[in-house]
Structure 1
Amino acid sequence: MNKYSICFLSFFFLFFFMLLNFFMMMYFIMNNVNLFFEWEIISFNSMTINMSILLDWMSLLFMMFVSLISSSVIYYSSSYMSSEMNLNRFIILVLLFVFSMILLIISPNMISIFLGWDGLGLVSYCLVIYYQNLKSYNAGMLTALSNRIGDVMILILISWMMNYGSWNYIFYLEFMSNDYCMKIIGLLVILAAMTKSAQIPFSSWLPAAMAAPTPVSALVHSSTLVTAGVYLLIRFNLLLIDMIFLKMLLLLSGLTMFMAGICANYEFDLKKIIALSTLSQLGLMMSILSMGLSTLAFFHLLTHAMFKALLFMCAGMIIHMMNDNQDIRLMGGISLYVPLTSLCMNISNLALCGIPFLAGFYSKDMILELVSMSNLNMLVFYLYYVSTGLTMCYSIRLMMYLMINDFNLMCIYNLYDEDWIMLKSMFILLFMSLVSGSFLSWMIFSYPYMIYLPFNMKLMVIYVSLLGGLLGFMISNMNFMSINKFINSYNLSIFFSMMWFLPNLSTYGVNYYFLNFSKNLLNNIDMGWSEYYSGQGMIKIIKFNSIIYYLYQMNNLKIYLFSFIMWMMIIIFMMMMF
């Protein structure tokens, strides 16, 4: 069997699955249909184990987007990973990842949600450590252990739901929302979603997961792993409204959005910049969810998935052409040589910024206008608008470093974009990045939102975007040396490039003292006192005595005479004493 055959088979399967989901979703939306399937797997005495599936317009629409992106990623991988010996193994891992996400999407039951949730965590570990080196192992362990916290929360939630006698949370979510047990369930759901969607203080695993191959990054950061937490909160949104924990999540997600926006401006690794932009957009989704606007958060999740997958694919192609070099300081002027890749990169970048009539504009503009209308404090308001400006800032900076600035190439690179397999998969997502915003806004919102704002407030988004774009241009242009000196000063850049020291807090800060304590235990107890008073110490004593006995047994006249004199002196001393 050819190593590409499984690749193309899975691409066709996922593509047809996407078309099926699309037609079903259109039927469900038009006729307002919800389907709930439940069948009995095991019945033993009074105990039954049931499997349930919920199909509504939301799960079908999300499945459609997941299968479209994953089919494009698999088609892209057939060229990107062509030098990989075990391509089939890679494709099977990606398919497992997609099926875990689909199981999570269609489950109204906490047990099957947990199966999908844990499947995502396990397969993501296998994919992050795919290139087997020390950096990958560390990143994989950090990813897996951060996600384990969320898994534990879901396990506690499952055991806590025993109070209600059913794990089908969809049945009693609305009318039990004032119950004390439900408050604890709400807290556990929020904590689980925060770990999966990498909100502060669990943010450090997301940039570390960039050790995975680029097609995996495109899948993880657009529609699967990181969106699982957001999707869970959308499903539980009826329960969480008016809870104090949701207000705390609003603050934390706003800070995540702000922190990721600043850190992306200090980063020089191409994939990490895009990863931090994902973190910023996740903060935006979580914060809009915290305000109770779950449909709008879902809308932004879907539009963001399209251009973020495209952005990662373009980055993968550029890294491929640059001999696997990811430092943006060693790139420049590539738009002359790779026009089609540059076109896709720029359009996805502009969609991320929210440039009018691209995919990101419809969701981001509506989010910011609803934030301007809502009754929020000034801190949250500023976090939203400053983060929007920072998004524009790092996008323009990235564009300047890659496309417009002078050549900084280290050697003669193989700059071409004739790889039509990669380009075809990118063009599918390019088309969706152009049209998905308007298509979804017509479909999801059956009535228009009434937004009533003063003129300057309405133009506030344009003001901060222009200001952010200007700042990004000044940072990346070497003519503005005084600004660059201030912005890239050593202390500032260390603090911001280390994500506000979050990796230190969540990894080294947590495990350093425990590991150091165990090292001291090993040195002082296992290899210290216990050695001295057990095997090692006994060997030393026996060895010392055996050397002395050996000296006695050498039949040396001097030893006999010396011992005779010693005995005589002891006897004389004893006689003098008594």
Structure 2
Amino acid sequence: MQKYSICFISFFFLFFFSMMNFLLMIYFIMNNMVIFLEWEIITFNSMSIVMSILLDWMSLLFMMFVSLISSVVIYYSKSYMSSELNLNRFIILVLLFVFSMILLIISPNIISIFLGWDGLGLVSYCLVIYYQNIKSYNAGMLTALSNRIGDVCILMVIAWMMNYGSWNYIFYLNFMNNDIEMMVVSMMIILAAMTKSAQIPFSSWLPAAMAAPTPVSALVHSSTLVTAGVYLLIRFNILLMNMFFIKLLLLLSGLTMFMAGISANYEFDLKKIIALSTLSQLGLMMSVLSMGLPDLAFFHLLTHAMFKALLFMCAGVIIHMMNDMQDIRFMGGISLYIPLTSLCLNISNLALCGLPFLAGFYSKDMILEMVSLSNLNLLIFFLYYSSTGLTMFYTIRLLMYLMINDYNLISIYNLYEEEYIMLKSMFVLLFMSIISGSMLSWLIFSYPYVIYLPVNLKLMVIYVIFLGMILGYLISNMNIYSLNKFLNMYTLSNFLCMMWFMPNLSTYGLSYYFLNFSQKLYKDIDMGWSEMYSGQGMYKIIKNYSVFYYFFQMNNFKIYLFSFVLWMMIYLFIIMLV
């Protein structure tokens, strides 16, 4: 019992914190309140170091969701990680992760945002390499190095904001928007958000981060690490109004959404399919932000957090039951053996697809109707709707493999429902996945969005969902003769399967060449020329001089005699010449 005590303490603390934030958030919304706290840590002459905290409905609501999901995940870990010897170390790492995210959420100050931002990067590295093997180490390095680009951008923003005399960015947003020079700040913020939220071309780290334990994946991919970039852009959304490269962000996020949807249809690793689904939803959030709708992006971020955490927890139960096998081709018929987990999996999948009146429907339907209403070109329109169809496509494919196909792993098997600790934690999120969409739409929007569209455009979402469902069913039921046609297009399939060769570019390509280049520089300059002319070079010169002088010191009489004879001979030679 001693080793589980930290689990229960953390669970109760975070759950209580979540409920407290919920009540505070309702009070703040009803009274239209914002609290800005400044705590002066140290003052020296005219310089003061101040810790600032911003509490408004947005930060309180996001903290409520983060703490609720993390409390449930920690409770789930008690059972999932029960064979782990160092369970306390794992829980402490998860708590550090959550506290870094909370620091990022409540910060109106770019310095404290950077502390939370870097804390997320550092702790995520520790969690990705938690199972210590070469694959986890490589994934951890890719995650850390990709996120370092964003960290450098935030550092540059910190340096640039010294022009204003304070790092409390929240006071300067309107001014920055009208200042041509401050385009640099907005460009850096967008780049930082793209690295953390894994937009093209930084997408390859997100599926690689699946090397972490499943409870961590549930936390990372729902409400913490990957949503940090989206949240940062929501806070800085005023900067995105007059930007000339906001169209580029819209295009890249749309392509991310599309690419992740296609790649998920080719993937066979259960956790990677769900990770690619997260990537697709992140692309959706970023593209909505690019359209200038931060409240809608925040709404989708929160609804997505609930069903995505639930989806990962269901995957964890299935992986446990399958003797740690993650390949969906070996799974099948699980609805007969673990009906409650299958129920949670189905509902979270349908919420992801945007089935009416589940959590995902309220946000996705509103987003797609706003896209239909807005003045966007045909390409972006196509990317939005095709990505929604692809979501349904890979979901039905996943359900076909997991529920309907036959079990393919071993001939003698004993499949059973996991212990109830996991189920209890999953039912909390199941309840939230059903009610959070309508609850948030009533809370966040002070008036209902009424969107007038022609009937065909209004029903376009339903058309796309049903088309994706039918195609997913047909492709999953294809016989081997039909599949031969796909094998003829092996190169195209490989391109689509490998996330448009992005891992090759970022992991094996750029990283390899950059690291090789830096190794050559290190060998040629650090260990070569600079050694020759500074460290080792000076040492050799001084050593040679000291040996030379030592020779004189030890042989002074012989040298004196020799030099005397030499000078006498020169003197006699000169006399003879004269």
Query: TM-score scaled to structure 2, two decimals?
Result: 0.89
Distance, in Å, in 2 between the alignment partners of 1:355 and 1:402 is: 20
Which residue is equivalent to 2:298?
Answer: 298
Q: How far has the Cα of 1:241 moved from its partner?
A: 0.9
Distance, in Å, in 2 between the alignment partners of 1:359 and 1:198 is: 24
Contact residue 389 and residue 464 of structure 2 kept, 8 A: yes
Contact residue 36 and residue 54 of structure 2 kept, 8 A: yes
Which residue is equivalent to 2:423?
Answer: 423
Distance, in Å, in 2 between the alignment partners of 1:22 and 1:80 is: 28
CA change 1:337–1:235 in 2 (3 A) is same
Which residue is equivalent to 2:567?
Answer: none
CA change 1:48–1:324 in 2 (3 A) is same
Contact residue 317 and residue 418 of structure 2 kept, 8 A: no
Which residue is equivalent to 1:558?
Answer: none
Percent identity over paired residues: 82
Contact residue 322 and residue 413 of structure 1 kept, 8 A: no
**In the alignment, does 2:43 pair up with 1:46?**
no
**In the alignment, does 2:477 pair up with 1:477?**
yes
Distance, in Å, in 2 between the alignment partners of 1:404 and 1:43 is: 67
CA change 1:64–1:514 in 2 (3 A) is closer
Which residue is equivalent to 1:382?
Answer: 382
Distance, in Å, in 1 between the alignment partners of 2:295 and 2:276 is: 24
CA change 1:467–1:340 in 2 (3 A) is same
Q: Which moved more, 1:368-377 or 1:520-529?
A: 520-529
**In the alignment, does 2:368 pair up with 1:371?**
no
Which residue is equivalent to 2:440?
Answer: 440
Any idea what SS the aligned residue of 2:49 has? strand
In structure 2, what residue type is equivalent to 1:228? A
Which residue is equivalent to 1:217?
Answer: 217
Q: Which moved more, 1:413-422 or 1:290-299?
A: 413-422
Give the ranges of 4+ consecutive aligned residues of structure 1 lying more than 4 Å apart after TM superposition. 514-529
Q: How far has the Cα of 1:519 moved from its partner?
A: 7.2
Any idea what SS the aligned residue of 1:4 has? helix
Give the aligned CA root-mean-square deviation in angstroms.
2.1
Distance, in Å, in 2 between the alignment partners of 1:94 and 1:162 is: 34
Distance, in Å, in 1 between the alignment partners of 2:520 and 2:174 is: 53
Which residue is equivalent to 1:490?
Answer: 490
Contact residue 74 and residue 91 of structure 1 kept, 8 A: yes
Which residue is equivalent to 2:405?
Answer: 405
Any idea what SS the aligned residue of 1:132 has? coil
Q: Deviations over 1:300-326 (max 9, x none)?
A: 000000000000000000000000000
Which residue is equivalent to 1:271?
Answer: 271
Q: How far has the Cα of 1:44 moved from its partner?
A: 0.3
Which residue is equivalent to 2:178?
Answer: 178
Contact residue 77 and residue 215 of structure 2 kept, 8 A: yes
Distance, in Å, in 1 between the alignment partners of 2:494 and 2:93 is: 36
Which residue is equivalent to 2:349?
Answer: 349
In structure 1, what residue type is equivalent to 2:403? M
Contact residue 478 and residue 484 of structure 1 kept, 8 A: no
Distance, in Å, in 2 between the alignment partners of 1:165 and 1:442 is: 40
Which residue is equivalent to 1:32?
Answer: 32
CA change 1:325–1:526 in 2 (3 A) is same
Contact residue 475 and residue 484 of structure 1 kept, 8 A: no
CA change 1:528–1:71 in 2 (3 A) is closer
CA change 1:179–1:455 in 2 (3 A) is same
In structure 2, what residue type is equivalent to 1:135? K
Which residue is equivalent to 1:552?
Answer: none
Which residue is equivalent to 1:143?
Answer: 143
Contact residue 65 and residue 302 of structure 1 kept, 8 A: yes
In structure 2, what residue type is equivalent to 1:142? L
Q: Deviations over 1:258-292 (max 9, x none)?
A: 00000000000000000000000000000000000
Q: How far has the Cα of 1:516 moved from its partner?
A: 4.7
Contact residue 258 and residue 383 of structure 1 kept, 8 A: yes
In structure 1, what residue type is equivalent to 2:214? T
Contact residue 103 and residue 112 of structure 2 kept, 8 A: yes
Query: TM-score scaled to structure 1, two decimals?
Result: 0.89
CA change 1:527–1:485 in 2 (3 A) is farther
Q: How far has the Cα of 1:414 moved from its partner?
A: 3.6
Q: How far has the Cα of 1:526 moved from its partner?
A: 12
Any idea what SS the aligned residue of 1:7 has? helix
Which residue is equivalent to 2:260?
Answer: 260
- Give unpaired runs (5+ residues) of structure 1: 535-578
CA change 1:241–1:414 in 2 (3 A) is farther
Q: Deviations over 1:107-127 (max 9, x none)?
A: 000000000000000000000
Q: Which moved more, 1:349-358 or 1:502-511?
A: 502-511
Q: How far has the Cα of 1:58 moved from its partner?
A: 0.3
Any idea what SS the aligned residue of 1:39 has? strand
Which residue is equivalent to 1:120?
Answer: 120
Which residue is equivalent to 2:100?
Answer: 100
Which residue is equivalent to 1:394?
Answer: 394
Which residue is equivalent to 1:169?
Answer: 169
Which residue is equivalent to 1:155?
Answer: 155
CA change 1:435–1:521 in 2 (3 A) is closer
Q: How far has the Cα of 1:488 moved from its partner?
A: 8.5
Which residue is equivalent to 2:197?
Answer: 197
Q: Which moved more, 1:166-175 or 1:128-137?
A: 166-175
CA change 1:44–1:521 in 2 (3 A) is closer
Distance, in Å, in 1 between the alignment partners of 2:149 and 2:497 is: 25
Distance, in Å, in 2 between the alignment partners of 1:101 and 1:527 is: 41
Distance, in Å, in 1 between the alignment partners of 2:489 and 2:153 is: 41
Which residue is equivalent to 2:546?
Answer: none
Any idea what SS the aligned residue of 2:400 has? helix
Which residue is equivalent to 2:339?
Answer: 339
Q: How far has the Cα of 1:496 moved from its partner?
A: 1.3
Q: How far has the Cα of 1:79 moved from its partner?
A: 0.2
Distance, in Å, in 2 between the alignment partners of 1:344 and 1:482 is: 33
Q: Which moved more, 1:412-421 or 1:251-260?
A: 412-421
Q: Deviations over 1:491-550 (max 9, x none)?
A: 222111111000111121113334555777899999999xxxx9xxxxxxxxxxxxxxxx
Distance, in Å, in 2 between the alignment partners of 1:295 and 1:190 is: 18
Which residue is equivalent to 2:10?
Answer: 10
Distance, in Å, in 2 between the alignment partners of 1:526 and 1:93 is: 37
Q: Deviations over 1:97-145 (max 9, x none)?
A: 0000000000000000000000000000000000000000000000000
Q: How far has the Cα of 1:377 moved from its partner?
A: 0.6
Which residue is equivalent to 1:568?
Answer: none
Which residue is equivalent to 1:554?
Answer: none
**In the alignment, does 2:59 pair up with 1:59?**
yes
Contact residue 59 and residue 106 of structure 1 kept, 8 A: yes
Q: Which moved more, 1:517-526 or 1:205-214?
A: 517-526
Q: How many residues are paired up?
A: 531
Distance, in Å, in 2 between the alignment partners of 1:330 and 1:488 is: 25
Any idea what SS the aligned residue of 1:49 has? strand
- Give unpaired runs (5+ residues) of structure 2: 530-535, 537-578
Contact residue 359 and residue 438 of structure 2 kept, 8 A: yes
Any idea what SS the aligned residue of 1:223 has? coil
Which residue is equivalent to 1:541?
Answer: none
Q: Which moved more, 1:366-375 or 1:165-174?
A: 165-174
Distance, in Å, in 1 between the alignment partners of 2:490 and 2:240 is: 43
Q: How far has the Cα of 1:487 moved from its partner?
A: 7.4
Distance, in Å, in 2 between the alignment partners of 1:436 and 1:528 is: 62
CA change 1:251–1:484 in 2 (3 A) is farther
Distance, in Å, in 2 between the alignment partners of 1:423 and 1:450 is: 38
Any idea what SS the aligned residue of 1:429 has? helix
Distance, in Å, in 2 between the alignment partners of 1:480 and 1:5 is: 53
Contact residue 103 and residue 112 of structure 1 kept, 8 A: yes
In structure 2, what residue type is equivalent to 1:472? G
